[in-house]
Amino acid sequence: MPTNTFLRQIQMAMPTLRKSEVKVAEYVLKHRQAVVHMRIVDLAQEAQVSEPTIVRFCRALNLNGFQEFKVRMAQANAAHHSMGQFSIAEDDTAADILKKIFDTSVNQIMTVRDHMDPQQVAAAVNALSQANRVEFYGFGASGAVAMDAMHKFFRLQFATVAYSDPHMQSMSAVTLSKTDVVIAISQSGRTKDLLHSMEKAQEQGAKVISLAPPNTPVSELADLPIHIQITEDTDIFTPMTSRIAHLIVIDTLAVGVAQRKGPEFEEHLIRVKESISELRIQEHPDN
């Protein structure tokens, strides 16, 4: 498990918090060092909420009050030498880093799985199964996920494309129709250009599926949100575990759509695989 259990507690509580309390949680997770030195009035001002909201936030975490919250944060910070979301010490060996990154990623992925709503996934699969055209929008690390998604859905006989340029997204979005679907991918859920492209697609009647954290603008704008909540410190690294989670969800959607197409569709997938087998160097029988 991740070493920082209190930060994990805050992260896991977010889907059950009020919107104003989520703002506190997001600020705390992003500014965990500074929060320890703040008064309740300071945190309220920085998070742009009221002081009673801070009190309710502490109670939601089963704490006696703001002072206990600060003590727990101080303890969490002492245990958290952070590189991304991984607890890395200066004397860690390559083997230590390997184990920590794999263990943390696996545990976070399992947590995402356990807190996902199967009905959200089922609704997305249903919409995709009826789509004529599927487009994937994302920026940065999410853009890489969009490219991978395009590759998978191309094999499923969809007219599909991935865009990580805001101008291309916007221009393409206005050419969509009611029979088309957009999957908007965002680790933060707050990318302005992505929101703009989603709105343009919706104006044309296209359905928009989101892969983003709950209680964020991207999730709230989407017609069919799929909530993926992973807290990452991206000040040092680009999103890591959330990117893996998004890829797994894309795989889940692709398998769900392939299942809808029926057993006969397997022949198509076999032909696709055979079509690229000649491009590979064949393994020698003696090896």
Task: In whole angstroms, give the CA distance from residue 268 to residue 272.
Answer: 6
Q: Could you tell me the end-to-end alpha-carbon distance of the chain, in angstroms, rounded to an integer? A: 40
Could you tell me the pTM of the whole model? 0.67
Domains and CATH numbers, the chain: 5-114 (1.10.10.10), 117-275 (3.40.50.10490)
Q: What is the pLDDT along the chain (287 residues), one digit of tens a residue?
A: 334 678 888 988 999 999 999 999 999 988 888 888 889 999 999 999 999 999 999 999 999 999 999 988 887 776 554 444 556 666 778 988 888 888 878 878 888 888 899 999 999 999 999 999 999 999 988 999 999 999 999 989 899 999 999 999 999 999 999 999 999 999 989 999 999 999 999 999 999 999 999 999 999 999 999 999 886 655 445 567 888 999 999 999 999 999 988 777 777 777 777 777 777 777 766 65
Task: In whole angstroms, give the CA distance from residue 93 to residue 97.
Answer: 6
| Helix, strand, coil abundance in the chain, percent, nearest 5 | 60, 10, 30
With beta carbons less than 8 A apart as the criterion, state whether 222 and 210 touch: yes
